[in-house]
């Protein structure tokens, strides 16, 4: 169907030239464009090798621009290179394969009137999981805008936080470093950075090339140089140049420098979404078969890794049934490509096993190296231990190799001022003075995020001894705390809205007073917010402690997926989202459910991250969500006597203020 659609478009494109582009695996993306009847002025472009800074047709417009992408990951990368494609009146965008977990690629109009005169838009399936989009305009539009709109359609309404600093790129593989950014400008290797009136179009220039870049000609915008994934080679490690490499200290450079020399991972498409629990799954091997690095299960190649080390969202979907992947360091296309492939699998949550990591792979980073070399087959054989290990891997990979993290590191290295990381305002509303110290202790140990707390005391004063002592202990941590005393007869929903009005953070997180939270609970949610595209994120009730019978349940809950329900005590969302839905409804109960419904009704997406760092406590009564014990006993995978959380919870902190009133664990 893709070939037929492009052939028909070629017949109707008029006298203007056509530009046919492909990105991703050639056997998937290039083949549909081969043997098509091209004219002398037409162009066939490989977007994966086209250098940034080089226009495809100059100032000339095209009658047709067609882009065939093997996967969503490849399309997202191509959006950056597409800034060099010409304007066109007819644009065809084809996705050969998808995971089926994203939304249909229905284009979202840019929003500034550029498409008000669009004549026709067609979106149709190609095979089981492919898509084809065609757009017709009476006047030529920017092709990059169309690709961006199609890509945006796969993610729903929200784009996610922007990547800073603003960048300009030069050379081959520039798009690997900045996927999905139509604000990027391509430049000549020597510069300078062009101006928009009196302002440079970027704050940092990145020159990606296999050879030494020329002297940089711009004094206003700093430049950094990085090699392509083919710039390093096995001959540089084992051949005649190995001694020179050793003398230069290339393999003994500081770890951070070696990490930041590796092209980052596109976490918007390469992430844990779609992770599945597997019991007794087989192990495959990341190794070399023929000229390619592959993930091989027995005699079957499940995934062929791209030469630059890119692992796509579709590749990850093909590996979800495995128990894990063993890493063979003896091959791969090249050193940088090998590091990117391993880091990408880890970012996707694929459990990895490895022997000693060679010195040339130091760019993997110490955190990932320690994890994959410290894991054993027993860690991936048990479903719970496997998921715990997967969470640790994805944390390390995304925080080390994600493109947001990489660009912040590049900006810091170049001395470019960066916007602050988002701050999280935790709202804690409680009717139980005896639980204040318990809840504050959970918040006090959060790490990896900047936190403030608004504590709403619903129906009791702050000067009660146990409350005052807990507040004093929390104040000693240095975390900002605002205490609000609400009248006992005030409706719960309005108390929460009052709490939100007292917050100052970019994000708002809801906290329950009697549940347990791991120290990376908030950091994991902030990370999920960045890669999921969700307006609201949270976790499920994977672990439940039934206090009446002293029993812990691990439940069969799907995680890392879009959903209609999450645990109310784990809600994290942007302040703007709360404003859009009108805040919490003025109700005494079911307010969390009502918020979720409002977000969905407004076109937003709810995303459920892993739930291993959270334990829901159930007692005989006193909960705003009323389900009896049988509801939880009906559907669970395992159970243990006593309080037995995941190891990711890292134990239980001592309640604050204990020196005034001893905590007994009971609830009213």
| Polymer length of the chain | 668
What are the tens digits of pLDDT across the range 147-174? 999 999 998 888 888 899 999 999 989 9
Mean residue pLDDT across the chain = 92
**Residue recorded with tokens 């402690």:** 545
Separation between Cα atoms, residue 77 and residue 300, nearest integer Å: 28
d(CA 158, CA 178): 19
When pLDDT is averaged across residues 288-317 and rounded to a whole number, the result is: 94
pLDDT per position as a tens digit, 380-432: 999 999 999 999 999 999 999 999 999 999 999 999 999 999 999 999 999 99
Determine the pLDDT at residue 459: 97
Residue 77's Cβ-count burial label (10 Å; 0-12, 13-18, 19+) is buried
Q: Round to whole Å and give the CA distance between 290 and 664.
A: 64
Q: Where are the domains of the chain?
A: 2-160, 258-404, 423-649
Specify the pLDDT at position 557.
81
> Locate tokens 């559907």: which residue?
635
Q: Are 259 and 365 in contact (CB under 8 A)?
A: yes
Is the pTM here over 0.85, yes or no?
A: yes
Asked if the model's pLDDT at residue 662 lies above 70, the reply is no
What is the Cβ-side half-sphere exposure of residue 67, based on CA atoms within 13 angstroms?
33
> How does pLDDT run across 15-49, given as a tens digit for each residue?
899 999 999 999 999 999 998 999 999 999 999 99
What is the pLDDT, as a whole number, of residue 179?
A: 96
Q: Put residue 160 in one of left, alpha, beta given phi > 0 → left and psi -120 to 50 → alpha.
A: left
Q: How far, in Å, CA of 251 to CA of 335, rounded?
A: 11
- Superfamily, domain 423-649: Spore Coat Polysaccharide Biosynthesis Protein SpsA; Chain A (3.90.550.10)
Q: CA-CA distance, 149 to 175, in Å (whole number)?
A: 18
In three-state secondary structure terms, 399 is helix
Q: Which CATH class is domain 2-160?
A: alpha beta
- Say which DSSP state 266 is in: -
In terms of pLDDT, which residue wins out, 247 or 328? 328
Q: Which tokens is 365 given?
A: 């980073």
pLDDT digits (tens, 9 = 90+) for 227-256: 998 877 666 665 544 433 443 344 557 878
pLDDT, residue 334, reads 84
- Check whether 193 has a pLDDT greater than 90: yes
In angstroms, rounded to a whole number, what is the distance separating the alpha carbons of residues 337 and 645?
38
Decide if pLDDT at 489 tops 50. Answer: yes
How far apart (Å, rounded) are the C-alpha atoms in residues 63 and 364?
A: 45
How much is the pLDDT for 661?
A: 45
Are 2-160 and 423-649 the same fold in CATH?
no
Q: Which residue, 613, 619, 635, 610, is CA-closest to 554?
A: 635
Longest Cα pair distance anywhere in the chain, in angstroms?
Answer: 86
**Residues 6 or more apart in contact with residue 427 via CB below 8 angstroms:** 454, 456, 496, 499, 500, 503, 508, 509, 510, 511
Q: Which residue has the higher pLDDT, 510 or 246?
A: 510
The C-alpha atoms of residue 266 and residue 234 are separated, in whole angstroms, by: 26
Residues 534-590 have pLDDT tens digits of 999 999 999 999 999 999 999 978 899 999 999 999 999 999 999 999 999 999 999
List Cβ neighbours of 355 (8 Å cut-off, separation of 6 or more): 327, 329, 373
Percentage of the chain with pLDDT > 70?
A: 93
Q: Which of 141, 178, 143 is nearest to 407 (CA)?
A: 178
**Lowest-pLDDT range of 225-229, 644-648, 657-661:** 657-661
Q: What is the pLDDT of residues 205-219, one digit of tens each?
A: 999 998 888 999 999
DSSP string, 291-324: TEEEEEETTEEEEE--TT----HHHHHTTTTSSE
Tokens of residue 183, six digits: 């604000």
Residues 6+ apart with CB under 8 A from 344: 265, 270, 309, 310, 311, 397, 401
* Residue 169, both tokens: 């790129």
Q: Where are the beta strands (DSSP E) in 100-166?
A: 120-126, 130-142
- Cis-peptide, bond into residue 192, ω within 30° of zero: yes
Of 640, 544, 557, 561, the C-alpha closest to 608 is 561
Any idea what the Cα angle at residue 105 is, between residues 99 and 108, rounded to 5°?
Answer: 145
The pLDDT, as a whole number, for residue 321 is 97
């Amino acid at each position: 169907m893709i070939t037929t659609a492009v052939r028909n478009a070629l017949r109707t494109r008029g006298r203007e030239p056509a530009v046919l582009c492909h990105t991703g695996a050639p056997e998937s993306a290039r083949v549909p464009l081969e043997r098509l009847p091209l004219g002398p002025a037409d162009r066939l472009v490989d977007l994966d090798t086209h250098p940034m800074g080089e226009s495809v047709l100059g100032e000339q417009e095209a009658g047709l621009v067609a882009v065939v992408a093997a996967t969503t990951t490849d399309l997202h990368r191509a959006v950056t290179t597409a800034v060099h494609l010409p304007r066109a009146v007819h644009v065809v965008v084809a996705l050969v394969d998808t995971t089926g977990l994203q939304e249909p690629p229905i284009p979202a109009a840019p929003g500034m009137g550029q498409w008000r005169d669009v004549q026709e838009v067609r979106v149709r399936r190609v095979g089981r999981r492919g898509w084809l989009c065609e757009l017709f305009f009476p006047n030529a539009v920017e092709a990059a805008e169309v690709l961006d709109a199609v890509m945006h359609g796969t993610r729903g309404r929200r784009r996610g936080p922007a990547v800073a600093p603003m960048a300009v790129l030069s050379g081959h593989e520039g798009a690997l470093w900045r996927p999905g950014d139509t604000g990027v400008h391509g430049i000549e290797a020597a510069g300078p950075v062009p101006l928009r009136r009196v302002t440079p179009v970027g704050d940092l220039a990145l020159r990606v090339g296999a050879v030494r870049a020329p002297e940089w000609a711009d004094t206003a915008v700093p430049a950094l140089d990085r090699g392509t994934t083919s710039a390093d080679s096995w001959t540089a490690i084992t051949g005649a140049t190995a001694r020179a490499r050793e003398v230069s200290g290339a393999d003994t450079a500081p770890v951070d420098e070696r990490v930041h020399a590796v092209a980052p991972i596109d976490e918007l498409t390469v992430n844990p979404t779609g992770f599945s629990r597997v019991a007794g799954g087989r192990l495959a091997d990341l190794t070399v078969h023929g000229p390619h690095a592959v993930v091989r299960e027995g005699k079957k190649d499940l995934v062929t890794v791209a030469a630059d080390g890119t692992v796509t969202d579709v590749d990850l979907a093909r590996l979800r049934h495995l128990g894990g992947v063993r890493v063979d360091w003896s091959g791969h296309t090249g050193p940088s490509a090998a590091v990117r492939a391993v880091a990408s699998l880890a970012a996707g949550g694929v459990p990895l096993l490895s022997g000693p990591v060679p010195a040339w792979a130091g760019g993997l980073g110490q955190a990932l190296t320690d994890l994959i070399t410290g894991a054993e087959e027993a860690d991936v054989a048990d479903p719970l231990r496997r998921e715990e290990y997967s969470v640790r891997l994805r944390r390390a990979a995304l925080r080390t190799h994600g493109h947001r993290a990489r660009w912040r590191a590049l900006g810091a290295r170049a001395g470019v001022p960066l916007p602050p990381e988002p701050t999280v305002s935790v709202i804690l509303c409680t009717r139980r003075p005896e639980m204040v110290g318990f809840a504050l202790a959970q918040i006090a140990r959060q790490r990896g995020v900047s936190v403030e707390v608004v504590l709403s005391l619903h129906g009791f004063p702050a000067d009660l001894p146990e409350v005052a002592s807990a507040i004093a202990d929390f104040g000693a941590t240095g975390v900002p705390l605002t205490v609000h005393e609400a009248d006992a007869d005030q409706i719960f929903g309005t108390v929460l809205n009052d709490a939100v009005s007292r917050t100052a953070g970019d994000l708002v997180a809801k906290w329950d007073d009697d549940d347990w939270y791991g120290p990376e609970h908030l950091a994991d949610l902030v990370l999920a917010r960045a890669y999921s595209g969700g307006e609201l994120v949270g976790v499920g009730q994977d672990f439940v402690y039934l206090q009446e019978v002293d029993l812990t349940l691990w439940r069969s809950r799907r995680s890392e997926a879009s959903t209609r329900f999450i645990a109310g005590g784990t809600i994290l969302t942007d302040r703007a989202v709360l404003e859009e839905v009108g805040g919490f409804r003025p109700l005494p109960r079911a307010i969390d459910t009502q918020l979720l419904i409002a977000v969905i009704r407004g076109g937003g997406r709810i995303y459920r991250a892993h739930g291993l760092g959270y334990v829901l406590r159930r007692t005989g009564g006193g909960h705003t969500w009323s389900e009896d014990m049988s509801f939880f006993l009906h559907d669970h995978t395992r159970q243990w006597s006593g309080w037995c959380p995941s190891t990711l919870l890292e134990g239980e902190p001592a309640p604050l203020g204990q020196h005034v009133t001893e905590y007994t664990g009971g609830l009213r």
